[in-house]
Chains A and B, each alone.
Chain A
Amino acid sequence: MLRVSEIEVRYSGIPVIHNVSLEVNRGELVTVVGSNGAGKSTLLKTIAGTLHPAKGTISFEGEEIHHLSTPDIVRKGITYVPESRSIFGPLSVEENLELGAFIIKDERVIKTNLEFVFTLFPRLAERRKQAGGTLSGGEQQMLAIGRGLMSTPKLLMLDEPSLGLMPKLVDEMLSAVAQLRTMGKTILLVEQNVRESLELADRGYVLQTGRTIDHGTGKELLNKDIIRKAFLGL
């Protein structure tokens, strides 16, 4: 479904991603793990079109997308939920969600998607009229993911959904991700909870200083020395 081939991404001329390749198949949950500064978020931003690769190609459902703008990539069916959440503070929960459905013209689809999000995160339904900026950190994260789901994406990219959440909510958030996968959503996940995300994922890629140094099924990677030493500290 998504194929990233040998891309290089630069910040002010300096390469931060070198020759990275990655594939996501329909219905898969794929995770990218790596230290801070390894290039995980940069990779997601490049797929989402907020950055463009200097070399290499990115294709989605057989079509090259790496030269497209972010709005066009959203229209192709990819949404990106950024680490920073980027909630519209003064807007209500419902308005934030509706903005996620900006590309959808059919009111009925918007309504169905809204109901879907409220089923996944009942807390958002309780707070539908509340301003986004007054939500707690965990609720804002739910809202960011919910907004990402409003455009009926074929591929959902989540950048550290558990960041800054309390232990109980980390579990809930990762369960929600697992639930989305069971519902057939295709997900590309970046997480610092390395163990949990590899347990959850079908496959994983290991990124180190802008290079893919390993990949495999979640279980394979969990048992590898490099993962155990470099990320789990075992």
Chain B
Amino acid sequence: MGYYRAIQKEGCLIVPFLHVDNITKDFGGLVANNHITFSIEEGEIVGLIGPNGAGKTTLFNCIVGYHKPDSGNVIFNGRDITGLKPHETNRAGIGRTFQIMKVTSGMTVLENVMVGAFCRVDKREEARKEAVAVLEFMGIENIKDFHMNELPVATQRKVGLARALATKPVLLMLDEVASGLNPKEIEEIVELVRVINTEKKITLFIIEHIMEMVMKVSQRIIVLDYGEKIAEGSPNDIVKNENVIKAYLGEKYAQSL
């Protein structure tokens, strides 16, 4: 059982908040995730980077149950959640956003966020109240009556984030929320992520290509390449790592430091 393995690894008493143990996911010969193991502690902000096609989103999908890993286990809050359905992992406390927004364009922003709130409440009025509170927290209550297809993609991603927050997660996984933002807007989302972490006490796991975001907010960074974990460490160590520069950052970025 993955659960016991996790305990042994961490030395009897401490069970990591999230422990991904030896996950492998094979898409008909293409190994998207190859024996990946890592842990995230409660309260941390951890970044996940790697080349396009390295298996980052697949890893997210294996954790939340969009994919069932071929082998390995996912332990969350002391419970083996491997193979649970997305709505079950969501109820267990994992929220996530999507790189390509899964929004219902026929619905307004408010209704989209209410869908998230229904994870915890049954009554329409309560869901509405919760959704409005989240939109206010994010400072986007002014767009609540817009239809999704009327909004720029980057704003749609913000709504995706609001919807994930409305499910009241304790672990929030963000898939490229800073993509398509200009440097000023990136600063704003960096601030938002920090507030989510410190005020709402939410642990964050973040896929991001925008270095101004991921290097700034993460305490620790995990790097994937060709489905394998090639590095893990502090942002400072990661930007100096030869393999990471070669596979991902590029010489120009390394020189600009």
Contacts and interface: CB of A to CB of B under 8 A. Distances in A.
A135 B128 CA distance: 41
Contact of A231 (B99, B152, B154, B184): B184
Interface stretch (B79-87, B166-174, B244-252): B244-252
A138 B52 contact: yes
Given A164-B176, A167-B253, 20 more contacts: A11-B150, A35-B184, A136-B52, A137-B53, A138-B52, A160-B180, A164-B179, A164-B180, A165-B52, A166-B52, A166-B248, A166-B249, A167-B249, A171-B250, A171-B252, A231-B182, A231-B184, A232-B184, A233-B183, A233-B187
A192 B184 contact: no
Contacts of A232: 183-184
Nearest to B151: A37
A137 B252 CA distance: 20
B39 interface: no
Contacts of A167: 209, 211, 248-250, 253
A137 B99 CA distance: 12
Interface in A27-43: 33-37, 41
A83 B153 contact: yes
11 contacts: A36-B181, A138-B52, A164-B99, A165-B52, A169-B250, A171-B253, A194-B182, A229-B184, A233-B183, A233-B184, A233-B186
Q: Which 4 A-B pairs have the closest CB atoms?
A: A168-B250, A136-B53, A137-B52, A136-B52
A195 interface: yes
Interface of B: 49-53, 99, 150-155, 176, 179-187, 209, 211, 247-250, 252-253
Contacts of A183: none
A168 B186 contact: no
B209 A165 contact: yes
A215 B22 CA distance: 54
Interface residues of A, number: 31
A171 B255 CA distance: 13
Interface of A: 11, 33-37, 41, 83, 136-139, 160, 163-172, 192, 194-195, 229-233
B121 to A, nearest CB: 31
A170 B49 CA distance: 14
B53 A35 contact: no
Given A136-B51, A230-B184, A233-B183, A164 B250 contact: no
A68 to B, nearest CB: 26
Contacts of A166: 49-52, 209, 248-249
A192 to B, nearest CB: 5
Nearest to A34: B182
Contacts of B183: 194-195, 231-233
A89 to B, nearest CB: 13
Contacts of A83: 153, 180
A134 to B, nearest CB: 9
B31 to A, nearest CB: 15
A233 B250 CA distance: 24
Nearest to B187: A233
Contacts of B155: 36-37
Given A136-B53, A167-B248, A37 B152 contact: yes
